[in-house]
A and B are shown apart, each in its own frame.
Chain A
Amino acid sequence: MGTFRTGRTPPRVGDGVIFRRALIGIVLFLGAILILAPLLIIGVEAFAKGWQVYRDTILHPDTRHAITLTVLAALIAVPVNTTFGVAAAWAITKFDFRGKGFLLVVIEIPFSVSPIVAGVAYLFVYGLQGILGPTLDAYGIKILFAIPGIVLASMFVTAPFVARELIPLMQSQGRDLEEAATSLGASGWRTFFSVTLPNVKWALLYGVVLCNARVMGEFGAVSVVSGNIRGQTNTLPLHIELLYHDYQAAGAFASASILALIAVFTIIAKVALERQGAGRVRPAANPAENAS
């Protein structure tokens, strides 16, 4: 028996010890500065003036109202967006029709548009200078500078989220199972709930979690449409800005810490859901390419 060495594998490109350690070091160093530090500083600054100030800020009526408003916006916007996302994913992946590619592009638009532009666009629909503004005003319906406007603007910005998670996955899953179910006599709803949904539940859940995080965190679009009235139309992100500009940095960070916790939860949820099979699907082909 010759000499025995175990478990060595030949090095691949970039596996040299020095290079590898140096690259990992640089990447982790920059990552700590650019990504980790901003997260940690929230905690530090939030408690900079002590626990008392933190508590007072969180329990302050304006803060509590902002939280309520933010949660309310999420409670409305997320289910609506989810319904839309599911409907869109169903229509696009299970059927062929003209204009499918175009529809996909349109769904992706909010992803590329600046949130300010989104807010301004909503202004020009529901504001007094907008198309529907004068009519709504005549009937006393308040959209802008009130909750409906906030919800609508948030829906614009997060519209693609659920659809984007579902479409590549459902595309790669094909239609065979649904066709089998239908041929066995199942109705549309039955097919969807018994066959399709179980296959995509983790991706769906992830899309919902992500959508929620973005709705709660939306700033630019909501800045434009909410009117910034303290205690009445400020969502939590706007409330943070308000406190910050009022030189109440610790208060701002205290409020920010709530959103930061939600962000951390979102990330943890993502890791857990990816283990189950959600998240980064390698699309077999760009869905837009499959449009006939």
Chain B
Amino acid sequence: MKIRLDHVVKTFQTFRAVKDVSLEIESGELVALLGPSGSGKTTILRMVAGLEFADGGHIYFGEQDATDIPVRDRGVGFVFQHYALFPHMTVAENIAFGMEVSKTRREKAAIQVRVNELLRLVRLDGLGDRFPAQISGGQRQRVALARALAVDPKVLLLDEPFGALDANVRRELRRWLREIHSELGITTLFVTHDQEEALDLADRVVILKDGHIVQEGTPEAVCRDPKSSFVMKFLGDANMLPAEVRDGKAYADGAVIEASGLADGKAELYARPGDLDWAPTGPGIAADVSRVMDRPGGRRIIATTKDGVHLELDLEPERGVKGGDTGFVTLRRAKVFAA
């Protein structure tokens, strides 16, 4: 089921949560809505679900204008951040709920079969008789997903589905959600503030800020080609150096980077810790090592330039750099944005 948002607006009293968002999601795609809190991503998700009504614009499911259709008739499956499992029902009863209240009557036996099927799908066989309070957070989220899938939704919507879980459970469930999506192929839209999660899971990432879409594209596209300093900073660690653009080149404290297409004037140069290197001799940006932090994957160096800017570099574990060393920071890659 293809979803299309057309100039959608949502205002809460005086706060414009969503300002003119237009988006297309192809049938079967797994799309992430990524952004900081207050960016409007959850509001958009809820409008697609019908849990909020848009104040302007339209939402289309396929060819049909679904903007005014109530949530119970939209055929969406919604997974809540805090699971919203019915505490007084067992896991099996939770999953069966949608089938039992649906307008099409189903045989009790048929419902049971489907419940067991779904329990197998989410790898919770045998836990059907437990209550939500008796299972772990990760298990609860899987029940929530099974419950949403039980009604054969046209669209699957997930609101920060792994936000309330521990880091390793999160990673495991991410992998598993990707598998389920490949198996079932349902159009899926999920909201997250965790960029690693969005980049891991999604076919396409939509980055939001203050109710607007600032960039959308495949994970590769947004990582390799961020179109603004906000996206650059939001997606990962980034060092910033003030720079000056002259004749298509950006000059920053001893480094020169191609900046064709940018007008002359003040600019900001961004480089990831992994794109910087350290050399005892020039050319490069002169700096002193102020701290060395050892990590499982390597070493992170904090080097301070003569202008007092702190740069963070990631080096291989074998590099023998220590605090107090003087040297030069070189740039393998960097992005320049107008200031």
Contacts and interface: CB of A to CB of B under 8 A. Distances in A.
A38 interface: no
Nearest to B6: A2
A11 B55 contact: no
Nearest to A4: B56
Interface string A206-230: 0000000000000000000000000
Interface string A4-28: 1111111100000000000000000
Contacts of A11: 70
Interface stretch (B46-54, B80-88, B92-100, B180-188): B46-54
A233 B192 CA distance: 73
Nearest to A8: B53
B56 A10 contact: no
Contact of A10 (B6, B7, B9, B50): B50
Contacts of B6: 2
A4 B55 contact: yes
B58 A2 contact: yes
A3 B70 CA distance: 18
Given A1-B7, A2-B6, A2-B7, A10 B70 contact: yes
A71 to B, nearest CB: 50
B57 interface: yes
Contacts of B51: 10
A1 B71 CA distance: 24
A170 B54 CA distance: 44
Interface residues of A, number: 11
B55 A6 contact: yes
A64 B241 CA distance: 88
A10 B58 contact: no
B260 interface: no
Given A1-B7, A2-B6, A10 B71 contact: yes
B56 A1 contact: yes
B11 interface: yes
> Chain B CB within 10 Å — which of A4, A7, A8, A10 has the most?
A10
Interface in B6-27: 6-7, 9, 11
A2 B70 contact: no
B9 to A, nearest CB: 8
Contacts of A4: 9, 55-56
Nearest to A9: B53
Nearest to B72: A10
B50 to A, nearest CB: 6
A32 B7 CA distance: 50
Contacts of B50: 10
B52 A2 contact: no
A9 B52 CA distance: 6
Contact of A3 (B11, B52, B56, B71): B56
Nearest to A3: B56
Contacts of A3: 56
A8 B70 CA distance: 12
A197 to B, nearest CB: 37
Interface string B56-88: 111000000000001100000000000000000
A5 B52 contact: no
A2 B11 CA distance: 14
A86 B108 CA distance: 57
12 contacts: A2-B56, A2-B57, A3-B56, A4-B55, A4-B56, A5-B54, A5-B55, A6-B11, A6-B55, A9-B52, A10-B52, A11-B70
Interface of A: 1-11
Given A1-B56, A5-B55, A10-B51, 16 more contacts: A1-B7, A2-B7, A2-B56, A2-B58, A3-B56, A4-B9, A4-B55, A4-B56, A6-B55, A7-B55, A9-B52, A9-B53, A10-B52, A10-B53, A10-B70, A11-B70
